[in-house]
Amino acid sequence: MAYFKDLSLYSYSKGETSILPAFNIGWLSKDQSFIAGETSQQFREKLYGFCVDENLVLVMRGFHKCEFCELSYDEWLKTHPDYGKSAKFMGLGTGEIRVIGKSVIYAAPSLIYHYISTHDYMPPQEFIEAILTGPQPGSTEHNALLNNYKHH
């Protein structure tokens, strides 16, 4: 997977359709350091909703494994039973999420949930605030954003 510095302008996929500028969050690499810290349970629960398959955009064929774990995909799923609970499936490493901020869109790989819950990646505070207080999956605003990707 490609590495992009947090809050740099998104340019990974030509399928980006946001009206607002999109900024990178959580495009990590084992060759680059990242800020670590503890996030709240409320944040992780809300982030989970963005990362389930039904809310992914720009889904790719195949998947990217976590560079930090060095596990096979099957081993990875076995060691992370929370991925897929509540009859929702989270295809980590298969697509991207979009989060609506105050005046920007945040673009992150679906692996961000794993990076935060397993490797203590600490995303920028403005992304955390957008997850906690911004439009949630299923809201009119978030559905409108996701619909932009379905027409390409």
* Section 13-39 average pLDDT: 87
Nearest to 98 by CA among 34, 18, 39: 18
* Section 113-132 average pLDDT: 96
Q: What percent of the chain has pLDDT over 70?
A: 78
pLDDT for the residue 84: 47
One-letter amino acid at 78 equals: K
pLDDT at 19 over 70: yes
Distance CA 71, CA 82 (A): 17
State whether residue 119 is helix, strand or coil.
helix
C-alpha dihedral (129, 58, 7, 135), degrees to nearest 10: -20
pLDDT for the residue 16: 64
* Section 13-25 average pLDDT: 78
Domain ranges of the chain: 22-150
At 60-114, the pLDDT tens digits run 765 667 788 876 667 756 655 554 455 455 556 678 999 999 999 999 998 999 8
C-alpha dihedral (72, 74, 77, 80), degrees to nearest 10: -60
